[in-house]
Amino acid sequence: MTGSGYCVLPGGDVIVALTLPRPPCGPLGGTTGAGRGADDASVRVLVRAKNRARALTRLRNLGLRAVYLRGNIAPPTPDEITAVLHHPEGLLWRAAPDDPYELWHPIAALLRPQGVLGAEPGARAA
């Protein structure tokens, strides 16, 4: 797994940053528009926890089972640290890690099935 790393904050918390393949069930599963192909099908995930093991456990509990942190090749940048510290859940993702205009999203938006995204706002569930 490339592009992962962590940093320890002065208070003892740890922020883990992972670049993961884009899940097929999410809103951006497979290829996307704007010139992105299957080669660029990755997301940057940020997790704040008490230690590295708990950070990875938080992701595994959400269904991302094959998540491992090997090395500290790409630790979170200061902007990423600020983003995850100001989020109440402490768990964010971004579709295009190299695009400075891409916003951070809560993790629930990544793992939501596509059927939920395509539902009409006024439609009732059967």
pLDDT at residue 64, as a whole number? 80
Of the candidates 20, 7, 3, which has an alpha carbon nearest to the alpha carbon of residue 66?
20
Rounded CA separation 6/59 (Å): 14
Q: End-to-end distance of the chain based on CA atoms, in angstroms?
A: 40
Between 17-21, 60-64, 114-118, the lowest mean confidence (pLDDT) is in 114-118
Predicted TM-score (pTM) above 0.95: no
Q: What separation in angstroms does the CA of 16 have from each of 39, 72, 86, 117, 118? A: 23, 10, 15, 28, 31
**Model confidence over 103-120: pLDDT tens digits?**
888 887 776 655 544 444
